[in-house]
A and B are shown apart, each in its own frame.
Chain A
Amino acid sequence: MAEVLVLVDSVDGNVKKPTLELLTAARQLGEPAAVVVGAAGTAAALKDQLAEYGAAKVYVAESDDISGYSVAPKAEALASPTSPASRPMSDSDLTSIGLLFAAMMPLKDG
């Protein structure tokens, strides 16, 4: 089944609602995998909540330096688990389609 990556947005140890909605959407497409990028300890606080909403796997990229950057580390983290070099090859990889979801900041209509 296709693994569907969902970039996790969180504030103070709570997963934000758009991320939970994306996990639900991802469940309809394949197997949701959450990608947590943040300071050390971020994923531990979010893991149970992510699992509750259907994340079968949680990829974690943690470093205290990450919080000093806005975008680049998240893009790198999303790119790396899907790269063939970083994953064991299997037959399922040949048929699975990597899909990425990232919650966009809600913008006012207009």
Chain B
Amino acid sequence: MNIVVLVKQVPDTEGDRKLDPQDNTVDRAAVDPVINYIDEFAIEEGLRLKEQQGGEVTILTVGPERATESIRKALSMGADKAVHVLDDAIHGSDAIATAKVIAKALGTIEWDVAIAGSEATDARGAVVPALLAEVLGAPQLTQARKVTVEGSTVTIERVTDVGYEKIEGSTPAVISVVEKINDPRYPSFKGIMAAKSKPIDVKSLGDIGLDAAEVGLDNSWTQVASFENAPPREAGQTVKDEGDGGVKIADFLASKKLI
């Protein structure tokens, strides 16, 4: 089974993340980049599927030069090889334009399942897997908390806010997984050493056969029109209980119209 895991590099959520006021896109230089947290669950799921079904795990990343660091980490977890779509014209692409790039890149790889994290911590749209399935005309098996493959049938348990739905589709299929589907492994020392020599195939838009007029900030259907930074946290108010603590709390709640 040929497994592709979609990995996005994002600014570390621990850092002070910013948008670039020049063009309102994510400022990727402001904070150290890391693998999108939920993608680690997707990588783990891909590796487990390989262990059950055989085959290869290919990491597919669309991103700037520095995304290589995240690709190496994914390879050190045990993936076999990677495709890195790297082209300055992609900068500023929205979710739809990004889905087009991924779809075209998948056209250059033999694949049965493409696994993504359910959302990325930078934009939090959670729509790229669904858009990708639509562009490809492939079944979308999103928000999975469990994935089972039998022959060419993929069955998932899709998390909803009242329980879960059992959904099945046939390969090639697009899957997105939620965190807690598994317990992502740490790269071993051997894995880190092996990752250094694993192949990363760097492709331009021309290599995947996509016209630059379909992607990038200027050609995206959506752009960030303006933004404001989140206000700094205000210091809280300390109420000292001098026998009237309850009354003070009640007054506070009443002033916020909570009671």
> Which positions in A face B, CB cutoff 8 Å?
11, 70-71, 104-107, 110
Contact = CB atoms under 8 A, between A and B. Distances in A.
A67 to B, nearest CB: 10
A107 B158 contact: no
Contacts of B124: 107
A107 B126 contact: yes
Residue among B119, B140, B158, B161 with the highest chain A CB neighbour number at 10 A = B161
Given A105-B143, A105-B160, A107-B119, A71 B165 contact: no
A70 B118 contact: no
B1 interface: no
A70 B166 CA distance: 10
B165 A70 contact: yes
A32 B101 CA distance: 35
B167 A70 contact: yes
Nearest to A11: B162
B95 interface: no
Contacts of B159: 105
A104 B126 CA distance: 9
Interface in B89-135: 118-119, 121, 124, 126, 130
B77 to A, nearest CB: 21
Nearest to B167: A70
A104 B161 CA distance: 10
Contacts of A104: 126
A35 B143 CA distance: 23
A11 B160 CA distance: 11
Interface in B151-172: 158-162, 165, 167
Nearest to A72: B140
Interface in B18-40: 37
B191 to A, nearest CB: 26
Nearest to A103: B161
Contact of A71 (B13, B130, B179): B130
A104 B127 CA distance: 10
Contacts of A71: 130, 140, 142
A62 B118 CA distance: 29
Contacts of A11: 162
Nearest to B130: A71
A56 B179 CA distance: 39
A105 B161 contact: yes
A-B pairs with lowest CB-CB distance, top 4: A11-B162, A105-B161, A70-B167, A106-B161
Nearest to A109: B124
Contact of B158 (A70, A106, A110): A70
A101 B121 CA distance: 22
